[in-house]
Amino acid sequence: MAKRILVVEDNDLNRKLFCDLLRANGFEVEPVADGREAIDKTRLFMPDLVIMDIQLPHVSGMDLIIALKTDAELAPIPILAVTAYAGKGDEDAIRDAGAEGYLAKPVSIGPFMVAVNKLL
């Protein structure tokens, strides 16, 4: 059975790229464009991994990571945080929030797939 990955990314191009790449590698993928839907979609889809953009409209990816990690049912799901704003200390803050993986945008295919497979 294919591993399931939820992709939370508001940028249409990035979301399509991530989803196409993951599907091409045999994963079942559920895209989420609006971070406000991320928790409900996670509950419904029950993914093996969540790929989380940090800069989302309406809700912070950091807040979503904390919400996922403080929910007993969802906490075991690993999170790969992806962000374009990789400032000093950002990775530590994102990992402290609960993300098991971290990538700075722009993301290269090789490191992206390594990070995905490592978390699965």
Whose CA is closest to 52, among 12, 110, 10?
A: 10
pLDDT tens-digit profile, the chain (120 residues): 899 999 999 999 999 999 999 999 999 999 999 999 999 999 999 999 999 999 999 999 999 999 999 999 999 999 999 998 767 788 999 999 999 999 999 999 999 999 999 999
Would 113 be classed as within a structural domain? no
Count of structural domains within the chain: 1
CATH of the domain at 41: 3.40.50.2300
pLDDT of the residue at 1: 85
Would 118 be classed as within a structural domain? no
pLDDT of the residue at 89: 83
Cα gap 44→108, rounded to integer Å: 30
CA angle centred on 74, ends 6 and 25, rounded to 5°: 30
46-61 pLDDT, tens per residue?
999 999 999 999 999 9
Would 20 be classed as within a structural domain? yes
